[in-house]
């Protein structure tokens, strides 16, 4: 199989490295940054460079681009993909990307499958790409009624082969709703947490909990601004919900209501324990 | 030196184990739970059991008890401590405990030093105690004008000997204000985060950020209810601050204000990076 990875950042670069490590497929790279291509060639992450016009040689094209860039790339280059080939993206939101991609590729004989590899780092760019970034990660696929079943099977086999721990499918809408909670809200809360006036008094006063709560505040604001605004409704629902929940704790503490506070904390512990049990069952 | 650890839970039990592992001191245990004492003896975590009336044989008494139990223990047993001996506690809040302890021990010739070993687990009880729980942890001491300097030096040397990575001192008030941010707020936010209606839709949709943000929701509600209510003002300040910060993000997303959202996220990233640099410098 000939594969092109377009956009060799943290995610695209790590995917290219994982393919080279785990398979014998030919991997091409495409990136607007000359240094990235030079590094990828030097590290043998890619076997060669392609221009968009040469994409017709590929059986699979993986887009490691931001949401709007993904949509633009497909619209600009849809005439170059080979009939029968598969195009997948790696964006953190799916509904808007999948709709635009399917509309653009309508009638071209090219299959699109929305994908979201569930891993990341607090660093970005090809320099931080790792061949094992996805080793314990989940690979989410969001097929629609337009996606041929054999394309889903093929991409699933491919994801498992390059090292993902498992694959799950969801509709684009389900994906966006759940990701608003598991990933986007985490980034919002972490970024809000770090803004306390107490921040620079804390050296030597932190155990693991502070580090955990603020780790992802070190985020790429260009990417996350776009991801948040493309997933407004589900994310607003989650932010409003945690503000409401925090207000419950605040009121109980303000009122010195020990029973209420105890109940709120107990509920939280039980939900966390139940969520751990569910994860173990599904793993 | 003869040392008694009163309260062999996660923290007291781990301290007893760390003393046995790293020193030749004699370690006695005191606990209201018979099984805990039996386990501690069987595992050679303690050399023997003491009753409160026998505390006079000890050079140092370490209290591994909740805040109110710490205060009660000192009040009930202040007549048994040896003149010239040192009593330290391990509570997560300091002002109320230190004030009560110093008042109780006034004129007894026993020195009290408020201490807070900065480590924990999402489990509690002697069964989870570890001899290396504190290996990369900070040991906070909160001396007052009543604490002899040589007592601080002695406890500091002891903490480093049993494996703590470093010691810091602060006033009890400073401690409580900073801990409201680094530890208590983390537990409140984590507990609030887990309460989303989206919780049980998330299997396979989580990368590290969800796990990090919700890890400490698995907390001991008896202990944390008491810690929160004994530190109301600083904790309310932090909860109100994060609610306000979250509201800023919420409004920017609701209004589709890309510039504002980008700025909020950028500020958060820069604060996190600055905080990491400060930690490295102070380490």
Tell me, what CATH number does A95's domain have?
A: 3.40.50.720
pTM of model > 0.95: no
Are the beta carbons of B275 and A194 separated by less than 8 Å? yes
Contact state of A232 with B224 under an 8 Å Cβ cutoff: no
Per-residue pLDDT reduced to its tens digit, A32-67: 999 999 999 999 999 999 999 999 999 999 999 999
Contacts of A250 in chain B (CB under 8 A): 236, 239-240, 243
| CB within 8 Å: A217 and B242 | no
Q: Which of A170, A201, A218 is the last residue of a domain?
A: A170
* 8 Å CB contact of B209 and A215: yes
Q: In sequence order, which residues have a C-beta less than 8 Å from that of residue A265 and are 6 or more positions away?
A: B187, B191, B219, B221, B224, B225
Residues B161 and B224 grouped into a single domain: no
Pick from A170, A192, A208: which residue ends a domain?
A170
Within 8 A of A268 by CB-CB distance, chain B residues are: 190-192, 194-195, 217, 219
Domain boundary among B116, B142, B170: B170
Asked if residue A124 and residue A250 are part of one domain, the reply reads: no
Closest Cα in chain B, distance from residue A141 (Å): 11
CATH number of the structural domain spanning residue A271: 1.10.3660.10
**B214 vs A249: CB contact, 8 Å cut-off?**
no
| pLDDT on residue A231 | 96
Cα B195 to its chain centre, rounded Å, is 25
A47 with A100, same domain? yes
Whether residue B187 sits in one domain with residue B166: no
**For residue A98, is it left (φ>0), alpha (ψ between -120 and 50) or beta?**
alpha
**Cβ-Cβ contacts under 8 Å for A93 (sequence gap 6 or more):** A67, A175, A176, A179, A227, A230, A231
Contacts of B183 in chain A (CB under 8 A): 205-207, 209-210
Full domain range(s) for residue B246: 175-282
Please check the confidence at residue B283 and state whether its pLDDT lies above 60: no
Q: A111 and A82: one domain?
A: yes
Asked if A239's CB is within 8 angstroms of B253's CB, the reply is yes
Q: Do A192 and B236 touch (CB under 8 A)?
A: no
Q: Which residues of A touch B174 (CB under 8 A)?
A: 201
Cβ-nearest to B195 among A192, A196, A271: A271
Taking residues B175-185, report their average pLDDT: 95
Say if residue B187 is in the same domain as residue B218. yes
Same domain for A217 and A138, yes or no, is no
Using pLDDT thresholds of 50, 70 and 90, give the confidence band for residue B205.
Answer: confident
Q: Clarify whether residues A219 and A268 are in a common domain.
A: yes
Closest-approach residue (CA) in chain A for B202: A178
CB B130 within 8 A of CB B11: no
Residues B185 and B156 in one domain: no
- pLDDT, one tens digit per residue, over A241-251 is 999 999 999 99
The DSSP annotation for A124-164 comes to: -SGGG--TTTTTT-EEEEE--TTS-HHHHHHHHHHHHHTT-
Residues of B in contact with A191 (CB under 8 A): 249, 264-265, 268-269
Number of domains in chain B: 2
User: Is pLDDT at A283 greater than 60 in this prediction?
Assistant: no
Cβ distance of A195 and B268 shorter than 8 Å: yes
Q: Could you tell me which chain A residue has the CA closest to the CA of B177?
A: A198
Q: What is the mean pLDDT of chain A?
A: 95
Judge if A82 and A136 occupy the same domain: yes
Complex ipTM value: 0.89
Residue B84: Cβ-neighbour burial (10 angstroms; 0-12, 13-18, 19+): exposed
pLDDT of A16 strictly over 60: yes
Question: Do B135 and B231 reside in the same domain of the chain?
Answer: no
Under the banding of pLDDT at 50, 70 and 90, the label for residue B241 is very high
| Domain identity same for B41 and B93 | yes
Distance CA B94, CA B30 (A): 22
């Amino acid at each position: 199989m000939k594969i092109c990875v377009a956009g060799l950042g943290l995610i695209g670069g790590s995917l290219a490295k994982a393919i080279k490590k785990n398979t014998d497929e030919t991997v091409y790279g495409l990136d607007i940054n000359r240094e990235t291509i030079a590094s990828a060639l030097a590290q043998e992450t890619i076997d060669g460079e392609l221009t968009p016009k040469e994409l017709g040689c590929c059986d699979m094209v993986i887009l490691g681009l931001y949401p709007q860039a993904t949509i633009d790339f497909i619209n600009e280059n849809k005439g170059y993909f080979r009939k029968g080939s598969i195009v997948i993206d790696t964006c953190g939101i799916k509904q808007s990307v999948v709709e635009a991609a399917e509309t653009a590729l309508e009638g071209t004989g090219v299959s699109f499958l929305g994908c979201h590899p569930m891993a990341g780092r607090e660093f970005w760019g090809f320099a931080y790409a790792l061949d094992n970034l996805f080793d314990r990660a989940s690979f989410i696929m969001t097929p629609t009624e337009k996606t041929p079943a054999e394309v889903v099977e093929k991409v699933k086999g491919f994801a498992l082969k390059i090292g993902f721990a498992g694959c799950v499918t969801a509709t684009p809408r389900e994906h966006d709703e759940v990701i608003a909670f598991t990933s986007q809200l985490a980034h919002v809360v972490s970024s809000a947490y770090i803004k306390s006036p107490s921040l620079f008094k804390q050296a030597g006063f932190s155990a693991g909990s502070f580090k955990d709560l603020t780790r992802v505040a070190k985020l790429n604001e260009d990417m996350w601004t776009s991801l948040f605004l493309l997933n407004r409704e589900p994310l607003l629902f989650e932010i409003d919900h945690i503000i409401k929940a925090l207000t419950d704790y605040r009121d109980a503490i303000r009122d010195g209501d020990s029973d209420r506070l105890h109940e709120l904390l107990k509920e939280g512990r039980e939900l966390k324990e139940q969520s751990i049990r569910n994860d173990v069952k599904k793993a």
